Protein backbone atom coordinates (compact mmCIF):
# COMPACT_ATOMS: atom_id res chain seq x y z
CA UNK A 1 0.00 0.00 0.00
CA UNK A 2 2.81 2.37 0.89
CA UNK A 3 4.37 1.83 -2.51
CA UNK A 4 1.10 2.51 -4.28
CA UNK A 5 0.64 5.64 -2.22
CA UNK A 6 4.10 6.94 -2.99
CA UNK A 7 3.74 6.17 -6.66
CA UNK A 8 0.46 8.00 -6.89
CA UNK A 9 1.85 10.98 -4.99
CA UNK A 10 4.87 11.14 -7.22
CA UNK A 11 2.71 11.04 -10.31
CA UNK A 12 0.42 13.80 -9.05
CA UNK A 13 3.34 16.05 -8.19
CA UNK A 14 5.17 15.31 -11.43
CA UNK A 15 2.25 16.06 -13.69
CA UNK A 16 1.41 19.07 -11.55
CA UNK A 17 -2.11 17.94 -10.75
CA UNK A 18 -1.34 19.14 -7.25
CA UNK A 19 1.43 21.21 -5.76
CA UNK A 20 1.58 19.50 -2.39
CA UNK A 21 0.66 16.19 -0.81
CA UNK A 22 -0.58 16.16 2.77
CA UNK A 23 0.26 12.75 4.14
CA UNK A 24 1.66 10.79 7.03
CA UNK A 25 5.38 10.42 7.59
CA UNK A 26 7.37 8.41 10.04
CA UNK A 27 7.62 9.84 13.50
CA UNK A 28 10.36 9.93 16.08
CA UNK A 29 9.54 6.40 17.23
CA UNK A 30 7.92 3.51 15.35
CA UNK A 31 4.65 4.05 17.23
CA UNK A 32 4.34 7.59 15.99
CA UNK A 33 3.68 9.26 12.72
CA UNK A 34 3.62 12.91 11.82
CA UNK A 35 2.02 14.99 9.14
CA UNK A 36 4.27 15.64 6.15
CA UNK A 37 3.82 18.12 3.35
CA UNK A 38 5.49 16.86 0.21
CA UNK A 39 6.09 19.39 -2.53
CA UNK A 40 8.79 17.63 -4.56
CA UNK A 41 8.30 14.32 -6.42
CA UNK A 42 11.68 13.08 -5.18
CA UNK A 43 10.50 13.35 -1.58
CA UNK A 44 7.57 10.99 -1.79
CA UNK A 45 9.51 8.31 0.09
CA UNK A 46 8.74 10.26 3.22
CA UNK A 47 5.15 9.11 2.94
CA UNK A 48 4.04 6.18 5.00
CA UNK A 49 0.92 4.39 6.08
CA UNK A 50 0.34 2.24 9.15
CA UNK A 51 -1.95 1.88 12.11
CA UNK A 52 -0.41 4.85 13.84
CA UNK A 53 -1.75 7.27 11.27
CA UNK A 54 -4.33 8.63 13.64
CA UNK A 55 -4.39 12.29 12.61
CA UNK A 56 -7.13 13.83 10.57
CA UNK A 57 -5.08 15.74 8.01
CA UNK A 58 -8.04 17.72 6.75
CA UNK A 59 -7.39 20.18 9.56
CA UNK A 60 -4.58 21.59 7.40
CA UNK A 61 -7.13 22.78 4.90
CA UNK A 62 -8.10 25.56 7.30
CA UNK A 63 -4.60 26.76 8.04
CA UNK A 64 -3.07 29.71 6.25
CA UNK A 65 0.42 28.20 6.32
CA UNK A 66 -0.62 25.04 4.54
CA UNK A 67 -3.18 26.70 2.29
CA UNK A 68 -0.32 28.75 0.88
CA UNK A 69 1.28 25.60 -0.49
CA UNK A 70 -1.29 25.43 -3.28
CA UNK A 71 -3.68 22.74 -4.33
CA UNK A 72 -3.22 19.68 -2.14
CA UNK A 73 -3.67 15.99 -2.54
CA UNK A 74 -4.70 14.79 0.86
CA UNK A 75 -4.43 11.34 2.37
CA UNK A 76 -7.66 10.49 4.14
CA UNK A 77 -9.09 7.53 5.97
CA UNK A 78 -12.79 6.85 5.76
CA UNK A 79 -13.59 8.93 8.82
CA UNK A 80 -11.42 11.83 7.66
CA UNK A 81 -13.09 11.78 4.27
CA UNK A 82 -16.36 12.63 5.97
CA UNK A 83 -14.80 15.91 7.04
CA UNK A 84 -14.24 16.77 3.39
CA UNK A 85 -17.90 16.23 2.64
CA UNK A 86 -18.91 18.54 5.48
CA UNK A 87 -16.38 21.17 4.40
CA UNK A 88 -17.76 21.07 0.87
CA UNK A 89 -21.35 21.29 2.03
CA UNK A 90 -20.40 24.24 4.22
CA UNK A 91 -18.72 25.98 1.28
CA UNK A 92 -15.29 25.93 2.86
CA UNK A 93 -13.70 24.05 -0.02
CA UNK A 94 -14.72 23.16 -3.51
CA UNK A 95 -14.54 19.62 -4.77
CA UNK A 96 -11.92 20.61 -7.33
CA UNK A 97 -9.76 22.30 -4.67
CA UNK A 98 -8.55 19.00 -3.29
CA UNK A 99 -7.34 15.75 -4.73
CA UNK A 100 -8.52 13.01 -2.41
CA UNK A 101 -6.21 10.08 -1.81
CA UNK A 102 -8.45 7.73 0.11
CA UNK A 103 -6.87 4.87 1.99
CA UNK A 104 -8.81 1.83 3.04
CA UNK A 105 -8.33 1.38 6.73
CA UNK A 106 -8.88 -1.39 9.28
CA UNK A 107 -8.44 0.82 12.28
CA UNK A 108 -5.78 2.95 13.87
CA UNK A 109 -4.26 3.42 17.27
CA UNK A 110 -2.80 1.04 19.77
CA UNK A 111 -4.99 0.16 21.57
CA UNK A 112 -7.56 0.50 18.83
CA UNK A 113 -9.19 3.94 18.79
CA UNK A 114 -12.74 4.07 20.09
CA UNK A 115 -14.02 5.39 16.76
CA UNK A 116 -12.72 2.34 14.94
CA UNK A 117 -14.74 -0.04 17.09
CA UNK A 118 -17.96 1.11 15.47
CA UNK A 119 -16.65 2.21 12.09
CA UNK A 120 -18.70 1.73 8.98
CA UNK A 121 -16.55 3.74 6.61
CA UNK A 122 -13.44 1.55 6.32
CA UNK A 123 -13.44 2.46 2.66
CA UNK A 124 -13.77 6.24 2.25
CA UNK A 125 -17.09 7.31 0.78
CA UNK A 126 -15.42 9.92 -1.39
CA UNK A 127 -12.06 9.83 -3.15
CA UNK A 128 -10.27 10.45 -6.41
CA UNK A 129 -7.99 7.48 -5.94
CA UNK A 130 -8.29 4.65 -3.52
CA UNK A 131 -5.15 3.14 -2.08
CA UNK A 132 -5.69 -0.39 -0.83
CA UNK A 133 -8.55 -2.82 -1.20
CA UNK A 134 -11.97 -1.53 -1.90
CA UNK A 135 -14.18 -3.02 0.80
CA UNK A 136 -17.91 -3.13 1.09
CA UNK A 137 -19.05 -0.62 3.74
CA UNK A 138 -22.06 -1.85 5.62
CA UNK A 139 -23.86 0.75 7.67
CA UNK A 140 -23.87 -0.29 11.32
CA UNK A 141 -27.10 -0.06 13.29
CA UNK A 142 -27.73 3.16 15.23
CA UNK A 143 -27.48 1.59 18.69
CA UNK A 144 -24.17 -0.01 17.93
CA UNK A 145 -22.63 3.24 16.79
CA UNK A 146 -23.61 5.08 19.93
CA UNK A 147 -23.11 2.24 22.40
CA UNK A 148 -20.20 4.10 23.97
CA UNK A 149 -22.69 6.59 25.42
CA UNK A 150 -24.94 4.13 27.24
CA UNK A 151 -22.86 3.98 30.36
CA UNK A 152 -22.93 7.76 30.72
CA UNK A 153 -26.54 8.28 29.75
CA UNK A 154 -27.55 5.86 32.46
CA UNK A 155 -25.92 7.84 35.23
CA UNK A 156 -28.24 9.73 37.55
CA UNK A 157 -28.57 13.46 37.11
CA UNK A 158 -26.33 14.11 40.07
CA UNK A 159 -23.71 11.66 38.90
CA UNK A 160 -23.73 13.23 35.47
CA UNK A 161 -23.22 16.68 36.88
CA UNK A 162 -20.42 15.54 39.14
CA UNK A 163 -18.74 13.56 36.41
CA UNK A 164 -18.69 16.50 34.03
CA UNK A 165 -17.76 19.04 36.63
CA UNK A 166 -14.73 16.93 37.49
CA UNK A 167 -13.85 16.79 33.82
CA UNK A 168 -14.42 20.46 33.05
CA UNK A 169 -12.55 21.53 36.14
CA UNK A 170 -9.40 20.18 34.55
CA UNK A 171 -9.70 22.31 31.42
CA UNK A 172 -6.85 24.77 31.12
CA UNK A 173 -8.40 26.68 28.21
CA UNK A 174 -5.56 25.88 25.89
CA UNK A 175 -7.97 25.64 22.93
CA UNK A 176 -6.05 22.74 21.47
CA UNK A 177 -9.40 21.03 20.93
CA UNK A 178 -10.79 23.73 18.68
CA UNK A 179 -7.43 24.35 17.07
CA UNK A 180 -7.06 20.79 15.84
CA UNK A 181 -10.66 20.39 14.76
CA UNK A 182 -10.94 20.60 10.99
CA UNK A 183 -14.47 21.89 11.36
CA UNK A 184 -13.67 24.64 13.88
CA UNK A 185 -12.69 27.07 11.17
CA UNK A 186 -14.00 30.48 12.29
CA UNK A 187 -11.36 33.16 12.03
CA UNK A 188 -12.45 34.46 15.39
CA UNK A 189 -13.88 31.95 17.78
CA UNK A 190 -16.68 33.05 20.08
CA UNK A 191 -14.31 32.46 22.95
CA UNK A 192 -12.01 35.20 21.66
CA UNK A 193 -14.77 37.77 21.50
CA UNK A 194 -14.93 40.08 24.46
CA UNK A 195 -17.49 42.70 23.52
CA UNK A 196 -19.40 41.26 25.28
CA UNK A 197 -17.37 38.58 26.95
CA UNK A 198 -19.51 35.54 26.34
CA UNK A 199 -17.14 33.03 27.75
CA UNK A 200 -14.83 33.67 30.65
CA UNK A 201 -11.31 33.36 29.29
CA UNK A 202 -9.74 32.25 32.55
CA UNK A 203 -9.53 28.56 33.28
CA UNK A 204 -12.19 28.87 35.93
CA UNK A 205 -14.96 26.34 36.49
CA UNK A 206 -17.68 28.74 35.39
CA UNK A 207 -16.18 29.61 32.05
CA UNK A 208 -14.98 26.06 31.57
CA UNK A 209 -18.52 24.73 31.55
CA UNK A 210 -19.64 27.41 29.11
CA UNK A 211 -16.65 26.77 26.91
CA UNK A 212 -16.93 23.02 26.75
CA UNK A 213 -20.65 23.04 26.18
CA UNK A 214 -20.38 25.74 23.54
CA UNK A 215 -17.50 24.13 21.69
CA UNK A 216 -19.38 20.85 21.50
CA UNK A 217 -22.63 22.55 20.54
CA UNK A 218 -20.98 24.44 17.69
CA UNK A 219 -20.07 21.05 16.26
CA UNK A 220 -23.59 19.68 16.62
CA UNK A 221 -24.68 17.98 13.44
CA UNK A 222 -21.21 18.67 12.02
CA UNK A 223 -18.69 16.65 14.01
CA UNK A 224 -17.64 13.55 12.14
CA UNK A 225 -16.18 11.81 15.16
CA UNK A 226 -12.50 11.82 14.24
CA UNK A 227 -11.69 12.05 17.96
CA UNK A 228 -8.89 14.49 17.30
CA UNK A 229 -10.09 17.01 19.88
CA UNK A 230 -10.05 14.39 22.57
CA UNK A 231 -6.67 13.08 21.49
CA UNK A 232 -5.01 16.48 21.78
CA UNK A 233 -6.63 17.55 25.04
CA UNK A 234 -3.69 17.73 27.43
CA UNK A 235 -5.86 17.00 30.46
CA UNK A 236 -7.79 14.11 28.93
CA UNK A 237 -11.32 15.44 28.99
CA UNK A 238 -13.53 12.91 27.16
CA UNK A 239 -14.74 15.52 24.71
CA UNK A 240 -15.88 12.88 22.32
CA UNK A 241 -18.69 11.85 24.62
CA UNK A 242 -20.17 15.32 24.22
CA UNK A 243 -19.64 15.28 20.47
CA UNK A 244 -21.15 11.86 20.18
CA UNK A 245 -24.15 12.75 22.29
CA UNK A 246 -24.91 15.62 19.93
CA UNK A 247 -24.37 13.41 16.91
CA UNK A 248 -26.77 10.90 18.36
CA UNK A 249 -29.47 13.51 18.94
CA UNK A 250 -28.98 14.94 15.47
CA UNK A 251 -29.29 11.54 13.90
CA UNK A 252 -32.23 10.50 16.05
CA UNK A 253 -34.18 13.70 15.45
CA UNK A 254 -33.14 14.68 11.95
CA UNK A 255 -32.04 11.37 10.50
CA UNK A 256 -28.72 12.93 9.57
CA UNK A 257 -25.12 11.78 9.78
CA UNK A 258 -22.56 14.48 9.03
CA UNK A 259 -20.41 13.82 6.00
CA UNK A 260 -22.06 10.51 5.31
CA UNK A 261 -24.38 11.07 2.37
CA UNK A 262 -23.11 13.88 0.24
CA UNK A 263 -26.62 14.74 -0.92
CA UNK A 264 -28.10 15.23 2.55
CA UNK A 265 -28.78 18.79 3.57
CA UNK A 266 -26.79 20.10 6.54
CA UNK A 267 -28.87 19.34 9.61
CA UNK A 268 -28.37 22.62 11.41
CA UNK A 269 -28.93 24.94 8.52
CA UNK A 270 -32.27 23.56 7.54
CA UNK A 271 -35.42 22.41 9.31
CA UNK A 272 -38.40 20.24 8.82
CA UNK A 273 -41.87 21.38 9.71
CA UNK A 274 -42.41 18.02 11.35
CA UNK A 275 -39.35 18.19 13.60
CA UNK A 276 -39.77 16.71 17.05
CA UNK A 277 -41.33 19.08 19.57
CA UNK A 278 -42.45 16.71 22.30
CA UNK A 279 -40.55 18.77 24.82
CA UNK A 280 -42.14 22.10 23.85
CA UNK A 281 -45.12 23.08 25.96
CA UNK B 1 -42.32 39.02 52.32
CA UNK B 2 -40.46 35.80 52.14
CA UNK B 3 -38.40 34.92 55.15
CA UNK B 4 -34.91 33.60 54.71
CA UNK B 5 -35.77 29.94 54.65
CA UNK B 6 -38.21 29.99 51.73
CA UNK B 7 -36.59 29.67 48.39
CA UNK B 8 -37.85 31.88 45.61
CA UNK B 9 -36.49 30.78 42.25
CA UNK B 10 -35.08 33.23 39.78
CA UNK B 11 -36.42 32.48 36.35
CA UNK B 12 -35.22 34.09 33.17
CA UNK B 13 -37.67 34.02 30.29
CA UNK B 14 -36.40 34.63 26.77
CA UNK B 15 -39.42 35.70 24.77
CA UNK B 16 -39.90 36.57 21.17
CA UNK B 17 -41.18 40.03 20.53
CA UNK B 18 -44.09 39.06 18.33
CA UNK B 19 -45.84 36.26 20.13
CA UNK B 20 -44.98 35.32 23.67
CA UNK B 21 -43.94 38.80 24.76
CA UNK B 22 -47.20 40.11 23.43
CA UNK B 23 -48.97 37.21 25.13
CA UNK B 24 -47.38 38.14 28.45
CA UNK B 25 -48.35 41.73 27.81
CA UNK B 26 -51.90 40.63 27.19
CA UNK B 27 -51.89 38.81 30.52
CA UNK B 28 -50.84 42.11 32.07
CA UNK B 29 -53.47 44.24 30.40
CA UNK B 30 -56.01 41.55 31.28
CA UNK B 31 -54.96 41.97 34.93
CA UNK B 32 -54.06 38.30 35.17
CA UNK B 33 -51.68 37.64 38.02
CA UNK B 34 -48.67 35.40 37.96
CA UNK B 35 -45.71 34.88 40.23
CA UNK B 36 -43.13 37.63 40.19
CA UNK B 37 -40.10 35.35 39.97
CA UNK B 38 -39.60 35.85 36.29
CA UNK B 39 -37.27 38.29 34.55
CA UNK B 40 -38.27 38.69 30.97
CA UNK B 41 -35.80 39.30 28.19
CA UNK B 42 -37.41 40.32 24.94
CA UNK B 43 -35.75 39.34 21.70
CA UNK B 44 -36.84 39.73 18.11
CA UNK B 45 -37.24 36.02 17.42
CA UNK B 46 -36.55 32.62 18.98
CA UNK B 47 -34.44 31.97 15.92
CA UNK B 48 -32.01 34.61 17.18
CA UNK B 49 -31.57 33.09 20.60
CA UNK B 50 -28.08 31.70 20.74
CA UNK B 51 -27.94 28.82 23.22
CA UNK B 52 -25.05 30.73 24.72
CA UNK B 53 -27.63 33.21 26.09
CA UNK B 54 -29.15 30.38 28.05
CA UNK B 55 -25.85 29.23 29.48
CA UNK B 56 -25.09 32.82 30.38
CA UNK B 57 -28.33 33.09 32.31
CA UNK B 58 -27.39 30.04 34.37
CA UNK B 59 -23.92 31.43 34.77
CA UNK B 60 -25.33 34.61 36.21
CA UNK B 61 -27.48 32.86 38.75
CA UNK B 62 -30.72 31.78 37.08
CA UNK B 63 -32.40 28.78 38.69
CA UNK B 64 -34.54 28.10 35.67
CA UNK B 65 -35.11 29.26 32.12
CA UNK B 66 -38.09 29.45 29.82
CA UNK B 67 -37.67 30.07 26.13
CA UNK B 68 -40.85 30.86 24.31
CA UNK B 69 -41.94 32.05 20.91
CA UNK B 70 -44.55 31.81 18.20
CA UNK B 71 -46.27 28.56 17.36
CA UNK B 72 -44.87 26.71 14.35
CA UNK B 73 -46.15 28.38 11.24
CA UNK B 74 -46.71 31.71 13.00
CA UNK B 75 -43.15 33.06 13.03
CA UNK B 76 -43.02 36.72 12.08
CA UNK B 77 -39.91 35.93 10.05
CA UNK B 78 -41.45 32.74 8.63
CA UNK B 79 -38.97 30.15 9.84
CA UNK B 80 -37.09 31.48 12.88
CA UNK B 81 -38.89 29.22 15.31
CA UNK B 82 -38.34 26.17 13.11
CA UNK B 83 -34.61 26.79 13.18
CA UNK B 84 -34.75 27.41 16.91
CA UNK B 85 -36.58 24.14 17.45
CA UNK B 86 -33.81 22.28 15.64
CA UNK B 87 -31.24 23.75 17.98
CA UNK B 88 -33.28 22.98 21.08
CA UNK B 89 -33.58 19.41 19.89
CA UNK B 90 -29.84 18.95 20.33
CA UNK B 91 -29.06 21.56 22.97
CA UNK B 92 -31.50 20.42 25.61
CA UNK B 93 -30.28 16.80 25.55
CA UNK B 94 -26.70 18.08 25.74
CA UNK B 95 -27.45 19.98 28.94
CA UNK B 96 -29.25 16.98 30.36
CA UNK B 97 -26.26 14.83 29.47
CA UNK B 98 -24.15 17.24 31.53
CA UNK B 99 -26.46 16.76 34.51
CA UNK B 100 -28.83 19.72 34.25
CA UNK B 101 -32.40 18.88 35.22
CA UNK B 102 -34.75 19.18 32.24
CA UNK B 103 -37.21 21.22 34.29
CA UNK B 104 -34.65 23.98 34.61
CA UNK B 105 -34.73 24.67 30.92
CA UNK B 106 -38.13 24.66 29.30
CA UNK B 107 -39.59 25.68 26.00
CA UNK B 108 -43.03 26.75 24.91
CA UNK B 109 -45.06 28.17 22.08
CA UNK B 110 -47.33 30.97 23.26
CA UNK B 111 -49.08 33.28 20.85
CA UNK B 112 -49.97 36.94 21.31
CA UNK B 113 -53.54 35.89 22.08
CA UNK B 114 -52.62 33.35 24.74
CA UNK B 115 -52.34 35.47 27.86
CA UNK B 116 -53.85 32.61 29.81
CA UNK B 117 -51.36 30.09 28.52
CA UNK B 118 -48.53 32.43 29.46
CA UNK B 119 -49.75 32.66 33.06
CA UNK B 120 -50.22 28.92 33.28
CA UNK B 121 -46.85 28.14 31.72
CA UNK B 122 -44.72 30.55 33.67
CA UNK B 123 -46.41 29.61 36.94
CA UNK B 124 -45.75 25.95 36.33
CA UNK B 125 -42.12 26.60 35.39
CA UNK B 126 -41.65 28.60 38.58
CA UNK B 127 -43.36 25.91 40.67
CA UNK B 128 -41.26 23.16 39.13
CA UNK B 129 -38.04 25.03 39.84
CA UNK B 130 -39.16 25.89 43.34
CA UNK B 131 -39.46 22.16 43.99
CA UNK B 132 -36.00 21.55 42.54
CA UNK B 133 -34.50 24.22 44.75
CA UNK B 134 -31.74 26.66 43.91
CA UNK B 135 -29.37 25.64 41.13
CA UNK B 136 -26.66 25.16 43.68
CA UNK B 137 -24.44 23.11 41.47
CA UNK B 138 -24.06 25.93 38.99
CA UNK B 139 -23.97 28.65 41.61
CA UNK B 140 -21.14 26.87 43.33
CA UNK B 141 -19.00 26.94 40.24
CA UNK B 142 -19.76 30.62 39.95
CA UNK B 143 -17.82 31.28 43.09
CA UNK B 144 -14.46 32.82 42.37
CA UNK B 145 -12.00 31.71 44.99
CA UNK B 146 -12.97 30.05 48.25
CA UNK B 147 -14.72 33.13 49.64
CA UNK B 148 -17.96 33.07 47.75
CA UNK B 149 -19.81 34.78 44.97
CA UNK B 150 -17.76 36.68 42.48
CA UNK B 151 -18.51 39.69 40.40
CA UNK B 152 -21.83 39.77 38.61
CA UNK B 153 -23.40 37.31 40.96
CA UNK B 154 -26.61 38.41 42.63
CA UNK B 155 -27.47 37.01 46.06
CA UNK B 156 -30.28 34.50 45.81
CA UNK B 157 -32.49 35.45 48.75
CA UNK B 158 -34.40 38.39 47.31
CA UNK B 159 -37.08 38.20 44.69
CA UNK B 160 -37.92 41.70 43.73
CA UNK B 161 -41.13 41.63 41.81
CA UNK B 162 -43.09 44.40 40.28
CA UNK B 163 -45.39 45.97 42.85
CA UNK B 164 -48.26 46.92 40.57
CA UNK B 165 -51.40 44.91 40.90
S1 LIG C 1 -12.87 5.18 12.13
FE2 LIG C 1 -12.75 3.73 10.43
S3 LIG C 1 -11.72 4.82 8.79
FE4 LIG C 1 -11.40 5.99 10.67
S5 LIG C 1 -9.44 5.28 11.44
FE6 LIG C 1 -11.00 4.00 12.41
S7 LIG C 1 -11.25 2.22 11.09
FE8 LIG C 1 -10.12 3.77 9.94
S1 LIG D 1 -15.18 18.02 17.28
FE2 LIG D 1 -13.43 16.63 17.59
S3 LIG D 1 -14.12 14.67 16.78
FE4 LIG D 1 -15.51 16.22 15.97
S5 LIG D 1 -14.66 16.81 14.00
FE6 LIG D 1 -13.81 18.24 15.52
S7 LIG D 1 -11.86 17.31 16.17
FE8 LIG D 1 -13.05 15.72 15.11
S1 LIG E 1 -8.00 20.84 24.75
FE2 LIG E 1 -8.83 20.23 26.75
S3 LIG E 1 -7.85 21.62 28.20
FE4 LIG E 1 -7.55 22.52 26.18
S5 LIG E 1 -9.29 23.92 25.95
FE6 LIG E 1 -9.90 21.98 25.03
S7 LIG E 1 -10.98 20.91 26.68
FE8 LIG E 1 -9.79 22.55 27.63
DSSP for B79-129?
Answer: SHHHHHHHHHHHHHHHHHHTT--GGGEEEEE--TT-HHHHHHHHHHHHHHH
B72 touching chain A per CB within 8 A = yes
Q: Given A101, A131, A161, which residue is the final one in a domain? A: A131
Q: Given A131, A155, A173, which residue is the final one in a domain? A: A131
* Structural domain that includes position A53: 2-131
Average pLDDT for A159-178: 95
Note down pLDDT in tens along chain B; length 165 residues: 545 568 999 999 999 999 999 999 999 999 999 999 999 999 999 999 999 999 999 988 999 999 999 999 888 898 998 999 999 999 999 999 999 999 999 999 999 999 999 999 999 999 999 999 999 888 888 776 554 444 444 444 444 444 454
**Rounded Cα gap, residues B153 and A160, in angstroms:** 25
CATH 3.30.450 fits B11-143, yes or no: no
Interface of A with B in 242-271 (CB under 8 A): 242, 245-246, 249-250, 253-254, 267-268, 270-271
Same domain, A104 and A154: no
* Range scoring the smallest mean pLDDT among A70-79, A93-102, A184-193, B151-160: B151-160
Q: Given A102, A131, A160, which residue is the final one in a domain? A: A131
Predicted ipTM? 0.91
pLDDT value at residue B152: 46
A79 belongs to a structural domain: yes
Q: CB distance B144–A158 less than 8 Å? A: no
Same domain, A122 and A166: no
**Rounded Cα gap, residues A213 and A199, in angstroms:** 11
Number of domains in chain A: 2
**Rounded Cα gap, residues A18 and A87, in angstroms:** 19
Pairing of strands A20-26, A72-76: parallel
A122 lines ligand 1 (CB under 6 A): yes
Better-predicted residue by pLDDT, B93 or A206: B93
Amino acid sequence: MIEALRKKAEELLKNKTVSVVFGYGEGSTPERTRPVFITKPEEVNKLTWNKYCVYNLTTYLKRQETRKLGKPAIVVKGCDARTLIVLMKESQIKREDVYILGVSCDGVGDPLAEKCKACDVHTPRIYDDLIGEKGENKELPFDERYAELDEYENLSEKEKWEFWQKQFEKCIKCYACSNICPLCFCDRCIVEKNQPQWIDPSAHARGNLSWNVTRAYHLAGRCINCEECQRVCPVDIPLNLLNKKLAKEAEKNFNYRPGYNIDDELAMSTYNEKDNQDFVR
Amino acid sequence: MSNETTFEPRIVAFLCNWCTYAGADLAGTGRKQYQANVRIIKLPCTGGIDPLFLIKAFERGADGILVSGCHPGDCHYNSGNYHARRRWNVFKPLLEFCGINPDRIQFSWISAAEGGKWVETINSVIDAVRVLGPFEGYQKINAIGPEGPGEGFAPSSDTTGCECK
